[in-house]
Amino acid sequence: MLNKLPILSALSFLLAYLFTPVTFPLCRAVGAIDVPDGVRKINTHPTPRLGGLAFFAASFLILFQFAGDDAYVAALLSGGAILVAGGFADDSFGFSPLPKLFIQAATALVVIAFIGIPEKISFFGLFTFPLAGAVGYVFVLFRIIFTINAVNFSDGLDGLASGLSIVALVSLSVYGFINHNTFGAVSALVLSAAILGFLPYNRYHAKIFMGDSGSQFLGLAIAVLSLANSPGHNYTLETSLFLAVPTADTALSVIRRLIKRKSPFSADKGHLHHILLNLGIPHPYAVNILVSASALIALFTLLFVI
């Protein structure tokens, strides 16, 4: 499998690069166009928003051959198909937060059915906490749903969710190789290559957005591969630091909205990327700052665990 990794990654990149333009007429056909509202949305012109279908399709075609050999790959592709279908409907017709949460929970349960729950969690080996029965299921369910929304909430600037996800996935791949989890490590690299194939269309000024179908799939992938790349039957919480910036931003957003007695899923302009823009930092520089911060945290985390 490892000797095929360069070919698999290159093919994943190429497929995503070729598939992305195909989604443009589909977006127009189903009305999946993000129209500026002059209030919360950053884009200044109507922009298609089903680009995530391209890197999902590319990674699916590459990884499907391994689904019968690894439960985590099977979980990722099966859960991803459900989430992308729901995201496609949301991008096309628009859902309220409750149906979206229901689809995310159903996806998480499908993933759990494939991979089960870890026996315990740890953080840099400093502490270990057993996961038994309902506690384990609730923890994994929350972890998956939270990560899905962390990436989804970060998709507010051109190329931001793509860049943050590439950082997390490459870090997970390195972490997986360290722990001899070949399938998880290779899957993370294949998916990061697919995002790189999509990125030329998504960077500032974006020709297409990944949409909820794409951002939620990336969140699911990072959650599943975090579980896959943890050694043994443990779940190592340090993998959460590979997505540190979106994780912190999402946690602060939920707290902020609850204090204001609003739904945790309600939209606002209090995210980190909004704050940087309000400080007068240009759009592409704001993306570079957040992606670089995430990469530095991920690098220090990897150096600590090697």
pLDDT in tens, 165-207: 999 999 999 999 998 888 999 999 999 999 999 999 999 989 9
Range of the domain at 38: 2-305
HSE-CB at 138 with a 13 A cutoff on CA atoms is 5
Show the tokens assigned to 36.
Answer: 């500026």
Q: What is the pLDDT of residue 38?
A: 59
Q: What is the pLDDT of residue 232?
A: 67
**Is the confidence at residue 108, as pLDDT, over 90?**
yes
pTM above 0.85, yes or no: yes
Give residue-wise pLDDT tens across range 42-63.
777 899 999 999 999 999 999 9
What DSSP designation does 299 have?
H
pLDDT, average across residues 29-42: 79
Contact 158, 205 (CB under 8 A): yes
| pLDDT category of residue 40 using cuts at 50, 70 and 90 | low
Domain tally, the chain: 1
What would you measure as the largest C-alpha separation in the chain, in angstroms?
54
Show the tokens assigned to 214.
Answer: 């794409």
Phi-psi category of residue 234: left, alpha or beta, with phi > 0 → left and psi -120 to 50 → alpha: beta
What DSSP designation does 51 have?
T
Question: What value, to the nearest 5°, has the Cα angle with vertex 156 and ends 46 and 216?
Answer: 100
Among residues 79, 12, 25, 14, the alpha carbon closest in space to that of 51 is found at 25
Measured distance CA(212)–CA(291) in Å, rounded: 20
pLDDT, average across residues 263-268: 78
> In terms of pLDDT, which residue wins out, 7 or 133?
7
**Is the confidence at residue 41, as pLDDT, over 70?**
no
Contact 289, 281 (CB under 8 A): yes
164 Cβ contact list (under 8 Å, min separation 6): 151, 154, 243, 245, 246, 290, 291, 294
Which range, 28-42, 144-158, 224-238, 246-260, is most confident?
144-158
Measured distance CA(166)–CA(296) in Å, rounded: 13
| pLDDT category of residue 274 using cuts at 50, 70 and 90 | confident
Rg (the chain; Cα; Å): 18
Cis preceding-peptide flag for 205 (omega within 30 of 0): yes
Q: What is the pLDDT of residue 192?
A: 97
Q: What is the pLDDT of residue 141?
A: 94
